[in-house]
Amino acid sequence: MKDNFDAIISRNTLFWLLITNVAVLSPLYQQATLWSIGICAICFVWRVGIYLGKVAAPPKLLVTSLAVGAATTLALVSSEIGLLNALVNLLILGYALKYIEMREQRDVKAIVLVGYFLIALTLLDQQSMLNTLHLLAVVIINTGILVSVYQDKSNKIANLGFSVKLVLHSLPLAILLFVVFPRLGPLWMVPNIKSATTGLSDEMSFGDINKLTRSAELAFRVGFENPDGSTLGPANQDLYWRTLVMENYDGKTWRQDQSIKTIQRQAYFQKPQREQAVITANNRKIEYMVISEPSHQKWLYGLDEAFSDNNQIVELPDYRLYSLRPIDQRMSYRVVSYPNNIMELTLKDNTKQLNLALPPNSNLKTQTLAKRFAQDYPDPQTRINAMMNYFAEQAYYYTLSPPSVGEQQIDDFLFENRAGFCAHYASALVFMARASGIPARMVTGYQGGEYNPQAGYYSVYQYMAHAWTEVWLEGQGWQRFDPTAMIAPQRILDGFDATFDSQSSYLQDSPFSPLRMKQYPWLNELRQQLSSLDYYWSVWVLGFDEERKQQVLSKLLGDVTSSKIALMMILSFIIIALVIGYYAGLFSINRNDDPLNKRYNLICQRLAKKGITRPQGQAAHDFANHVQTTLAQQHPAIAREFMALSTAYMALKYQPLTTLQTRQHMQQFMRLYRTLRLRLLHS
């Protein structure tokens, strides 16, 4: 088919351009600045005016001025919104400005190509199942523009239907390449100067985790892979998802030590070495897969001493998992944990001093209490147990709305307020342990998880953020102690939901969260079923790594070899090409796919059964006259209706019609076709 690049854009194409413009740009609204949104709105309103015939195309000077102004503005604010967002906005503005100044069909093709690029860019950031289905619909609409260019006389529904067929024809090839093509990592890294972060931070003060308890956002999901095929993980009280270790305390804020930050920065170039753990006699292994939501940070989640064979993940000396790249999109990785391993059996002198350090002249009352514990309980194990029991024996309370504290935070909490949440109790225990001579540090992460029996996985939400204490004991290494379990045991045994009412905690700022369905059993089951679909999507599509690819190919081919894969690809390409060629009409196969011809010929066949045969090559008009002459006396209604049917048929086949005329003739043809089919059947 020959391109006519200089042809004027038809109204049919203009209509599809209006729909496509909104469809392509709408998923990118979060990345767009107000300036970009304003220019896109101006361009859209102007194009609506052109479609309605109210305004003419804007002068090129105006379009150029808008382009220069937009580029200058983006250059000025790029340091605030981030380089990646600035580039996205530049592409959005280019798309909108090209959209408003297009005049010929060559411009339409450029708009379509840029639209496909924007869709692909959106898919990099929005990969959930619902977002993917949404973007697939956008692809169909964008393809509808090209269809309207080449099939201008077709109605809009026909354009959309043909666009759907084109996309469906491409799916087998896409699936083949997805299954067979090697899994490749990113070819480049795009710097992201600033981006919104979700979840834990590498600094923690008393109010930080309290803020997270109001967030119902999903942090990550976990699927356990047990040897017996079951999907249940450890008990809730054992689900401590280790994320960050903080060893520096200045009296107000807990922070990561500078030494571990240096290791993190150098991890991409020099893989850190973790001290070999001591394996105990009752050693056991837990295998699971984690699907992390975008956090725009690099820290990951694991139970106890965790290992991952992912080449983009390293194991840090403080027994955490760390990604070499920021988690800017969903990331799945496999983990093996050894909960009974001894972590750091021998403590280095500098690590010991770091985890015994206290800010000068800080919380003197707490230091006095800690020294009394040291005198009464010389054995460190007995001493730390006594400190844990102290929280249970005294009148302490667990609350998400604790009273404020002053400069001496720990003193105010322990001796005045006596009410707080996990960060208060963990901080107090670390401080007392250090003051009594026991190395201790703060660990933050998440505790617990909501089990989904539909798909067999755990969902961990931001409101499950938690803080606990690790102390170092001779011969035992780092051991976990959670004073929250002494104050609010249900928080640890049964999870956050068992302790706090959703209306007063994690759903307070989320009035439309699906988690509100928990109180209605059938709605909660529906919520979990929908979540299961998204989980399967994450596992089998987003998490389709080399291991899963080998599993699929093994089921299809048996022993996976290069020759078998090459043969499968060649055969698949041939089959796909034959199917596409068949539907494109490239093969000389006697078939009649035109529904109009098919219906007309059916009526002619039924007339033949009545003795009225249409000679080969006879024009439809001449045959209609013959039928009318033959049946005028016996069946005047059939003669009259067949003449009208033939007139509509010839108009649809051979006359240039407008969209309205085409619809009217088609309606008349279908009405007469149904009537004649019944009349000829019973007459």
Q: How many angstroms separate the CA atoms of 666 and 662, rounded?
A: 6
Judge whether 447 and 241 are in contact, CB under 8 Å. yes
Q: How many angstroms separate the CA atoms of 190 and 91, rounded?
A: 15
Q: Is the dihedral of CA 46, 48, 51, 55 positive or negative?
A: negative
Q: Which residues pair with 175 in a beta bridge?
A: none
- The number of beta carbons lying within 10 Å of the beta carbon of residue 622 is 12
Which candidate, 238, 190, 244, 181, places its Cα nearest to that of 212? 244
If you write DSSP's letter for every residue of 346-385 in order, what string do you get?
A: S--HHHHHHTT---TT--HHHHHHHHHHHHH--SHHHHHH
Residue carrying the six token digits 């699929």: 552
Angle between helix 364-376 and 380-393 (nearest 10): 120
Judge whether 560 and 567 are in contact, CB under 8 Å. no
Specify the pairing of strand 218-224 against strand 465-473.
Answer: unpaired
Q: How many angstroms separate the CA atoms of 270 and 216, rounded?
A: 37
Q: How many angstroms separate the CA atoms of 294 and 328, rounded?
A: 5
Judge whether 273 and 530 are in contact, CB under 8 Å. no
Judge whether 286 and 329 are in contact, CB under 8 Å. no
Q: Is the dihedral of CA 112, 114, 120, 125 positive or negative?
A: negative
If you write DSSP's letter for every residue of 245-307 in order, what string do you get?
A: EE-EE-SS-EE--HHHHHHHHHTTTS---PPPPBPPTT---EEEEEEEPP-SSSB--EESEEE
Judge whether 446 and 292 are in contact, CB under 8 Å. no
Structure tokens at 623: 């045959």
Could you say which of 257, 466, 497, 665 is catalytic? 466
Residue environment code for 513-538, b if the CB has 16+ CB neighbours within 10 A, otherwise e: bebbebeeeeeeeebbeebbebbebb
Torsion of Cα atoms, 627 then 628 then 632 then 637, to 10°:
90
- The number of beta carbons lying within 10 Å of the beta carbon of residue 483 is 26
Could you say which of 422, 424, 497, 665 is catalytic? 422
Q: Is 466 a catalytic residue?
A: yes
Q: Is 422 a catalytic residue?
A: yes
If 0-12 CB within 10 Å is exposed, 13-18 middle and 19+ buried, where does residue 634 land?
A: exposed
If 0-12 CB within 10 Å is exposed, 13-18 middle and 19+ buried, where does residue 566 land?
A: exposed
Q: How many angstroms separate the CA atoms of 486 and 218, rounded?
A: 27
Could you say which of 43, 482, 497, 665 is catalytic? 482
Judge whether 281 and 210 are in contact, CB under 8 Å. no
Catalytic residue IDs: 422, 466, 482
